[in-house]
Amino acid sequence: MTVLVGYADGRGARDALELGVALADALGVPLTVVTAARRSWGTPSISRVDAEFIDWSRRTADEDLAAARARLTELAPTRDVAFRRVEGRSVPAALVEAARDEDATVIVLGSAADGSLGQVVLGSTADRLVHSSPVPVAVAPRAYRAPKDGIDRLTFAWAGDEAEVSAIERLAELAAPLDARVRVVTFGLRRPAMFPPEVGLDAEEEVFAAWTAGVQSTVDSLRRRGLIGAGVETTIAVGADWRAAVDEVDWAPGDVLVVGSKPGGPVARVFMGSSATKIVRHSPVPVVLLPA
């Protein structure tokens, strides 16, 4: 088992290493840093374009590995780290293959460079992985720096959907080796009415109360079935939009947001629904995306 960091030198590279080290420390597993080289240009060529592209891709991956070694010498000088160059038809495919080979607990990536500081932004590699990875994918916010006290709380975004029970079970597996608290948060929207609706404000209150009761009922069911412990904190965070809902939660430096997936087929993989995608976009802390 290992925490596998997919590294590409540039903006977000250090963020991925910081999160990778923090997760490896918290989980008590080794750290592996991989860079990916593509095996082909993508379209057949009778010229040497393919060979030249492959050579360039391998050189770039080796240069990225050297940069990762240098960064980790500063970040975690005493940690034993494995470094590998992997190859595949695409970067996401190469990372998935490496994760299988290494029996990775999680694949760690940085956010795209065009996001705001402190924001989780999925780049092209992360976007592909969150629709195909058979193992959890962790994404660090822009300019993320690991807290000195490490990761000490996992916040699971629970939509109240029975289909997410498998993600709750994976959360338990992830949290088992961690000396960290777990809490369950249900995010919801409640936009203020600009004028009284035809059905009346009481009807809106009744709908909101029914939704809240439904959420509480699903949480109680999770407790009865032993899927979450009696000491797990549960709460509902509601806002006029998804950013406001996420901001309703008390976040701390040692927090990680854990998001489950919607089943996307017969094979377990990461596959986010639209609401989960919006919650991730506004997360101020690292995000771990669990396969369905």
> Across the 292 residues of the chain, what is the mean pLDDT of every consecutive 10-residue run?
94 94 95 90 57 88 96 92 94 94 96 86 88 91 93 91 80 84 92 59 77 90 89 93 95 94 54 78 94 74
Model pTM score = 0.88
Burial 242-264 (b: 16+ CB within 10 A, else e): bebbbeebeeeebbbbbbbbbeb
Contact 290, 174 (CB under 8 A): yes
CATH class of 147-292: alpha beta
pLDDT recorded at residue 263: 56
Domain(s) of CATH 3.40.50.620: residues in the chain: 1-146, 147-292
239: β partners: 189
Contacts of 182 (CB under 8 A, 6+ apart): 153, 154, 155, 156, 171, 175, 228, 229, 232, 233
* 1-146 is a CATH 3.30.160.100 domain: no
